[in-house]
Amino acid sequence: MIDVAIVGASGYGGGELLRLLAGHPKARVKVAVSETYAGKPVSAGFAGLAKRSELVYASYGDGAEVAQCDVVFLAQENGKAMHTVPHLLEAGCKIVDLSADFRLKDAELYKIWYGQEHVSAGWNAQAVYGLPERNGEVIKRAQLVGNPGCFPTASLLALLPLIENRLIDPASILIDAKSGISGAGRSKWSQEYHFPEANENVSAYKIAGTHRHTPEIEQTLTDAAGQEIALTFTPHLIPMTRGILATCYATLKEKGTREALLKMYSDFYADAPFVAVREDLPTTKQVLGSNMCHLGLSVDARLNRITLVSVIDNLVKGMAGQAIQNMNLMCGFDETDGLTMGGLWP
């Protein structure tokens, strides 16, 4: 049994980590850090944890208690983890960072997209991008993993089989994605997230290459393709709590059929426990509360274009569940430990 610390344990990502780790067979949460709720039981932040956890939120202090843990999840806002990571790595901790601080290899790229200098650029270059379906073997040897963003997770799982098999024109890729409101985090109080503004409303935001997840998607696809890839990514906010649906479009290099492509996808993900390739088109509710990604596709024979639909729960496979999946790999556990729950239906 390993000891785990969660820093930022009262945000949505931290709350999901607490919920999921409460049933993990080989890991226990020893420290849950929240400056807002320090000294209060974790159920004060997440009432659903009442009688599921006896933990009390702690303050980070000098970090000594956190540094004694085997694995540390950093679930804070962007710009925090890069200050904390060096001390924890020197203490021998394995770290999964749920923010964007260690997703981009190029520290200058981080500065451009996140508006601040990266103070741990050396570690930034050594961090492993935590998409297990692509980097599983490398994650097993990693001490520091940058957990992918929610939009990139859904989009990359849809597109990587096509890129790695050289089946599409990379310049033709378009991603149209929708996210539930929890994707913005728990501390967003601006008007567009208020119930009267968001309910019965769909809005696009950060369009025309301005969303921060764009370089993360491009970085991974570029690495897989062996050539520079730039793409159009358009996110939308939809009036539901959880879920991401990413619709991805691309032009096939050669004529392809839906049946042949479905088989290719099924073969590609045959050993991936959290990716299901479906005959029908998936919906967000099918994966609610689970660590699953469901994929479906069709081919427009007139234009020789493929359309893919990828759905995940943004707080589980898009955040905390994938972080635990990464921890399992880093610690030599079964990849599915603590994550075998199916989606909630209806």
Sheet with 174-179: list strands edge to edge: 203-204, 232-237, 174-179, 244-251, 305-312, 293-300, 275-277
Annotated catalytic residue within 69, 150, 248, 293: 150
> Hey, what are 243's tokens?
């879920």
Strand spans (E) along 99-160: 128-129, 144-146
Is the CB of residue 95 less than 8 Å from the CB of residue 89? yes
Residue 213: which of 183, 170, 181 has the closest Cα? 183
φ and ψ at 85, to 5 degrees?
A: -60, -45
Residue 334's contacts (CB-CB under 8 Å, 6 or more residues apart) are: 328
**Would you call 293 a catalytic residue per the annotation?**
no
Question: Quick one: CA torsion of 209, 210, 214, 218, rounded to 10 degrees?
Answer: 50
Residues in the chain, how many?
346
Distance CA 151, CA 210 (A): 14
Catalytic residue numbers read: 150
